[in-house]
Structure 1
Amino acid sequence: MIMDAQVPSLGLRRAADVRVRLARRTALLCVALTLLIMVLIVISGAVGSVAVTPADAARLVVGHLLPGMPWMSDGSLTPLQDQAVWQFRLPRALLAGLAGAGLALAGALMQVTVRNPLAEPYILGVSSGASVGAVLVIVFGSAVLGGLSLNLAAFGGALAACGCVWALARKNGALSPTRMILAGVALGTLLSAVTSYLTISTDAQNVVSVLFFLLGSVSAATMASLVGPAVAVVVAALIAALLARSLNALMTGDESAVSLGIDASRLRGVLLVVASLLTGTVVSVAGGIGFVGLVVPHVARIAVGADHRRLLPVTLLGGASFLMIADLLARTVAAPTEIPLGILTAFVGAPFFLWLMRRDGADRAGFGR
């Protein structure tokens, strides 16, 4: 009898020990990833045709953030070096970090929405919608969309695609995960066909611009272009953090969510809108960058478990680090030629996708743990 009474107690203690270990691991990972991001910003500031050492790049950045410090303005750095680091390289590194964080977070939300670790934002066709809007501006000019800029046209296309998926996925007043996937794949295929037709029907100069946008790049980043992604990532992260417990319940099944008083259909709708708007914002400034939303959340889930209170911060920081590293490689691997980010992320993401698909229980990997 005593031994029987001790079994539940031992199980509770072991579960508590696991939670403590995962919490410590999460804290360590967050600190390590934050330090890595800071190092990547410094390295990114030192990489380019204008020679700047990592130490000088750090001095320039800190000098702009904390003006008036005498040891930051000793006259050893030229205006050209200052311009290269502050106006070009720093915005590029920050945009890569924001884009990676946004896509990774959107991927984590989408995987919960459809309860499938193979899902990512692009499965909804949102990026294809953004691409159609951007390509229309590139091929025909902004007048065709009422004077919208390329970024606004891409964002509008993403919103339109989100609305179509929402409408097509509803059945009997509820959002169906299966219908969402099918609607997203079908819509994405249709919109990709539209983009392909527009591409082959324009001149060679526009084709280069279209392909560079579709494959993704942060080379045109400016401080002004950081505002939209920064706001989107912060707002989406706050919403996701507030919904973390509900996400845990939804991940284990609609029945569990309903038993806890959660409206599963309404929650899916919120997640769909947040993930789609986040993806549309990122695509509008960085182009089509795939697989970030697939790889990063799944690696984070393996590292810290499926509890979204731990998963979300690691996913955000991991996504930022992943795409910042990819951007550094894009600038250096084939220098002076720059490789589009979508190509590098595909080299990592496609093999990872195939491994995950072949893995036993891949359709439930990391879910319900």
Structure 2
Amino acid sequence: MTSEQRIGSIALPDTRARRVVEDLLEGSGITLNGTQPWDIQVLHPDFFSRVLHQGTLGLGEAYMDGWWECDRIDELAYKLLLHGLGKRAHTPSERLMYRLQAGFFNLQSKTRAYMVGEAHYDLGNDLFERMLDPTMCYSCGYWKDAGNLHEAQIAKLDLAARKLRIQPGMKVLDIGCGWGSFAEHAARHYGAEVTGITISREQAALARKRCQELPVNILLEDYRDLEGRFDRIVSIGMFEHVGHRNYRTYFDTVTRLLDDDGLFVLHTIGSNSSEISADPWINKYIFPNGVLPSVKHIAQASEGRLLMEDWQNFGADYDRTLMAWLKNFDAHWHQVAANYNERTRRMFRYYLSVCAGAFRARDIQLWQVVYSKKRAGRYDAPR
């Protein structure tokens, strides 16, 4: 039985599948083919069956394939999550497959660590340079007193540096340094000697170029292979790639590398639940093998190793950050369009919009956690 019926040569959508989707959306404020900017405009008769059979993976792939349109996907995602359709949108087979994989395999092992770099971060510096701000920060900005994306990213970098209490000459390790944004900031404005590591060749090349006149050393290396001793350690937007099987190894590594009087700042997206899961579309197209930690995961993995001094949540700021990236992406796409295809454009627009909606709904969080190793006295975290 197909997902459509035919009258003559005219294909009609499967009315039963459509009714199921309409029932799911009832009360959400979302209308099929409606007039609001968050309404779904259905362009393909198999849209309903595809979404019902494939869940969020089918929804995302259908958008990439041009099966539906929506002016404000961020608001669509926000309303879907508020309506409680987040977990219901994952099919039982999706959940079972990920649990089996995560249960029997270390999806973030050293042999697999470079997969996300190759799949996402190495996609093209030309694209990310136009989507991000001049700092090349690919993590949540701090919008407390900021008026634009650039100010928010500088504020985020400086917030982490002030929490670390960096002094000139200190040796600082940046785990997951990206394009060198924090390494450059700490070296230029605080006089630190910074070692940054990344699993992306494209990131490493650009970070070295940006920091070539500063006391910064950028390495293409997995965190588990690091040696040495550092006064301060920072990790911004990398812990999401560590995986639950490696959380203790990660904190063991930080503890081993951190000086006895040192401080460590962990900046990570976080989950409201300790269930080990991943959105299948994000896992397939954006961050392979990524998984978001919960408060419990972080607390259990760090307990007995480091002393938690401060925990700050500014997850709502990620909504504004992602929407600013989307605005940049749309404004500058024409400059790089010849290097990519339309499916890539739709993939990025969907990714940025859906994630903005998730942070808007407070379905996921953004945490900065400060740790000390053997510290005496009071620690007051700046804000």
TM-score (normalised: structure 1): 0.28
TM-score (normalised: structure 2): 0.28
Query: Which structure's residues are more often helix, by fraction?
Result: 1
Report 1 or 2 for greater relative contact order, CA contacts < 8 Å, sequence distance ≥ 6. 1
Query: Which structure's residues are more often strand, by fraction?
Result: 2
